[in-house]
Amino acid sequence: MRRAVLPFLLLAFAVRAEGLRVLELYTSQGCASCPPADRVIAKMADRPDVLALSFHVRWWDYLGWPDPFGLKVSGDRQRGYAKQWKLRHVFTPQVVVQGTTYGIGADEEEVATLLGAHPLVPEIPLMRQGTGLIANIPALGLLRSAELWLLALDRRAATRVERGENADRTLVGVNIVRAATPVSQVMETPMRVSLPTTILAGHDIAVVLLQPPGPGPIAAAGRLALR
């Protein structure tokens, strides 16, 4: 089975004319099947309605090439989804759309179909305030316990892989997650949240995701170019 759909845990949220579709890719430079998925994500990232995120995991480091972008939090997040959907194993390349549906990341047609099957979620405006950032979470109705996550992204990186399944290849990634952490509990909206900026230093894009712990269905998301 390639995909599973969870019921939304959110009780209600206001419908807005604009918003985003959040596309997460779980990938690894040590996985021979992942470069095509990296290319699919790069293409989808050009769409204005898509917030594409490349989460590099460490599952394949033992094959000889430790992924320089691999994060423990990426693996924890992917395992969390697998637990929600009662999957026996995690795999790469996997895509997750809106925190509710998964599929094969290298299959461009499937990824496009999954994106088209999901409505936009409201966008969280991010704004600079002095040296900090503010997230203005819009009115979303009643929420069950939700977390606001802050992510730091690098827009693009090319890596020459020396060992492992992709040895002697140059791999290009886009919207690479370099850090991710929950920053606030959200029970009621609208809400204004001051964001810690330490993890954003030296990176290109700030992203926020609002979703139940687990993780679960994404209720809202936002992004801001830092440079």
**What is the per-residue pLDDT across 27-44, written as a single tens digit (0 to 9) for each?**
999 999 999 999 999 999
**pLDDT value of position 143:** 72
131: pLDDT strictly greater than 90: no
4: pLDDT strictly greater than 60: no
Residue 9 belongs to a domain: no
Residue 13 belongs to a domain: no
Residue 125 belongs to a domain: yes
1: pLDDT strictly greater than 50: no
The answer, yes or no, to whether the previous bond of 66 is cis (omega within 30 of 0) is no
Q: What is the mean pLDDT of residues 219-226?
A: 97
6: pLDDT strictly greater than 70: no
Residue 199 belongs to a domain: yes
pLDDT tens profile 134-189: 999 999 976 778 999 999 999 999 999 999 999 999 999 999 999 999 999 998 89
d(Cα 37, Cα 3) in Å, to the nearest integer?
16
d(Cα 180, Cα 69) in Å, to the nearest integer?
12
**pLDDT value of position 88:** 93
Structure-token pair, residue 207: 């992203």
Mean pLDDT of the chain: 91
Q: What is the mean pLDDT of residues 54-74?
A: 97
- Parallel, antiparallel, or unpaired: how do β-strands 126-129 and 132-137 relate? antiparallel
Q: How far is CA 51 from the centre of its chain?
A: 8
pTM over 0.95: no
Residue 154 belongs to a domain: yes
95: pLDDT strictly greater than 80: yes
Residue 69 belongs to a domain: yes
88, with CB counted inside 10 A (0-12, 13-18, 19+), is exposed
If you ran DSSP here, which 8-state letter would residue 85 be given?
T
Residue 213 belongs to a domain: yes
In the chain, pLDDT over 90 holds for what percent of residues?
86
CATH label of the domain that carries residue 165: 3.40.30.10
Residue 158 belongs to a domain: yes
Q: Which domain holds residue 53?
A: 21-225
d(Cα 227, Cα 218) in Å, to the nearest integer?
26
Q: How many domains does the chain have?
A: 1
**pLDDT value of position 142:** 64
